[in-house]
Amino acid sequence: MPVRRRRGWELCESEATPEGVFLRRRELLKAAAAGSILGPGLFSLPAWAAEEDPSAELYPAKQNPRYTLDRPLTAEKLATYYNNFYEFGSQKTIADEAQALQVRPWTIKIDGLVDKEMTVDLDDLLKKMTLEERLYRHRCVEAWSMAVPWSGFPMAAFVDFAKPLSSAKYVRMETFLDPKVAPGQKQVWYPWPYIEGVTIAEAGNELAFLVTGMYGKPVPKQDGAPLRLVLPWKYGFKSVKSIVRFSFTDKRPVSFWETVQGDEYGFWANVNPDVPHPRWSQATERVLGVDARRPTLKWNGYGEFVAHLYDGLEKERLFA
Ligand code: MTE
C-alpha cells in the first residue's frame, strides 16, 4: 500500500523558496561564466551549461501562429530552474541533479497494439518529424502557471508513425528507469517508473505536443529531455518527461500519481477552476515571475480545441 507522504509539489506557497532565490542563483551562474565574479576553484559552472546537443541545429523551429497567448512568456531562467521532476528530487531545484541523465543515445520503444513493434532512435525519429514552435500556457495542479515556447511535433504525427491497430484505445507512456542516475527512483514508496496515459482521441488532438525543445534550443534535461509530452489543457503532471516507451493498449493506463494517491489525481486531470483539489482551490493561479494571481481558465483556455473530446463522459471524474 502506498505510503501517504506530502509531495514537494504540494508545498504551500509560504513554504516554497521565493522565486528571487532561484533567479539570483542563475544570475550568479551567468556572472561566474562571464568571469565577473569569484576566482577559479571558488565557483565553477555546471557542466551542462556548455554541453553540446546533436540536434542543436534544428532550433529555433518556425513558430506556428495558430497558438497565441494572453500573457507574456515566462522568463527562460525561471521556467528552466523551477521544475517538478521527482526522479531527481521532490524540491523545485533539481536542474543540477538532472544533468546526470545521459540523453544520447536515446531510443524509444513502441509496442502493444501496433502494426509492428519497434525501437526507434530519437535522432532518426526527429528526421521524420517537422519541428515547430508553439507558445502554450502550462498549469500545474499545485496552482502555479507559466507560458512557455515549446518546440516539437504534434503527437498525432507520432501516432501515425507508430501505426496503432484499431483496437488501441489508449497510449501509455513511460519515463526512463535508472536509479543510478536518478536518486529519486531509490525512493521505494513511489511506483517507478513514472507512467502517464491518454486516450487515442486525446493523443490525436491537435494540441497534444511531443516536445524536444524549449526557448529555441533543445529542451534541457530538467524539463524532460530529450522527449516529453505537453498537454496544455491538462494539469502539468500529465506531461510526462524523458519518455522511453509508448505502448498502445485497450486498457486505461494507471498513472504514477494515480497509483500514489488515486483520490486526488485522476486519469483525466483537465484544468477546471470550479473543481478544487481536495486540499486547495483551483480558482486562481500564481503566474510565475509575476507578482499577482490570475483566474484559472477552464481547460486552461483551450476549450475550443478540446471540450468536444469529453462529450458523453460527464459521469467520469474529468477534472480530478
Ligand atoms: N515527468 C516525470 N517523469 N517525472 C515528474 O516528476 N512531474 C510532472 C510533469 N512530468 C514529472 C513529470 C509535473 S507534476 C509537472 S507540473 C510537470 O512535469 C513540470 O514540468 P516543468 O518542470 O517543465 O515545468
Name which residue sits closest to atom 16 of ligand 1, judged by CA.
236
Average pLDDT over residues 289-305: 95
Name which residue sits closest to atom 3 of ligand 1, judged by CA.
241
Instruction: Flag whether pLDDT at 28 surpasses 80.
Output: no
Give residue-wise pLDDT tens across range 250-283. 999 999 999 999 999 999 999 999 999 999 999 9
Report the separation in Å between the CA atom of 211 and the middle of ligand 1, taken as the mean of its atom positions. Answer: 13
Name which residue sits closest to atom 9 of ligand 1, judged by CA.
237
The whole-number pLDDT of residue 23 equals 41
Instruction: Flag whether pLDDT at 315 surpasses 90.
Output: no
Contacts of 33 (CB under 8 A, 6+ apart): 45, 49
Contacts of 220 (CB under 8 A, 6+ apart): 48, 80, 95, 98, 214
Question: What whole-number percentage of the chain has pLDDT above 90?
Answer: 79
The whole-number pLDDT of residue 41 equals 35
The whole-number pLDDT of residue 291 equals 78
Give residue-wise pLDDT tens across range 34-48. 333 333 333 344 545
Q: Say which residue, 132 or 17, is predicted with more confidence.
A: 132
Nearest-atom number in ligand 1 for the CA of 138 is 24
The whole-number pLDDT of residue 51 equals 60
Pocket test for ligand 1, best of 80, 82, 85, 215 (most atoms within 8 A of CB): 85
Question: Is the previous residue joined to 72 through a cis bond, with omega within 30 degrees of 0?
Answer: no
Q: Which three cell numbers stand for residue 292?
A: 499577482
The whole-number pLDDT of residue 52 equals 73
The ranges assigned to domains in the chain are 13-310
Q: Say which residue, 242 or 31, is predicted with more confidence.
A: 242
Report the separation in Å between the CA atom of 236 and the middle of ligand 1, taken as the mean of its atom positions. Answer: 6
Task: Report the pocket of ligand 1 as residue ranges, CB < 6 Å.
Answer: 9, 83-87, 140, 175, 194, 223-224, 236-237, 239-242
51 vs 10: CA distance, rounded Å: 32
- Supply the mean pLDDT for the chain: 87
Q: Which residue reads 519541428 in cell numbers? A: 131
Give residue-wise pLDDT tens across range 151-176. 999 999 999 999 999 999 999 999 99
Task: Give, in words, the CATH class of 13-310.
Answer: alpha beta
Q: Which residue reads 482551490 in cell numbers? A: 281
Beta strands in 127-182 (DSSP E): 132-139, 144-154, 170-175
β-partners of residue 148 are 136
Report which DSSP code applies to 159.
H
Name which residue sits closest to atom 10 of ligand 1, judged by CA.
240
182 vs 114: CA distance, rounded Å: 31
Instruction: Flag whether pLDDT at 307 surpasses 80.
Output: yes
Give residue-wise pLDDT tens across range 55-96. 999 999 999 999 999 999 999 999 999 999 999 999 999 999
The confidence band for 133, taking pLDDT boundaries of 50, 70 and 90, is: very high
Name which residue sits closest to atom 21 of ligand 1, judged by CA.
83
Instruction: Flag whether pLDDT at 184 surpasses 50.
Output: yes
Average pLDDT over residues 221-240: 98
Q: Is 203 exposed, middle or buried (0-12, 13-18, 19+ CB in 10 A)?
A: buried
The whole-number pLDDT of residue 316 equals 78
Q: Which three cell numbers stand for residue 319?
A: 477534472
The whole-number pLDDT of residue 317 equals 72
Report the separation in Å between the CA atom of 116 and the middle of ligand 1, taken as the mean of its atom positions. Answer: 30
* CA 52 remoteness from chain centre: 22
Write down the pTM of the prediction. 0.87
Neighbours of 281 (CB within 10 A): 13
Nearest-atom number in ligand 1 for the CA of 142 is 16
3-state secondary structure 282-305: CCEEEECCCCCEEECCHHHHCHHH
Nearest-atom number in ligand 1 for the CA of 141 is 16
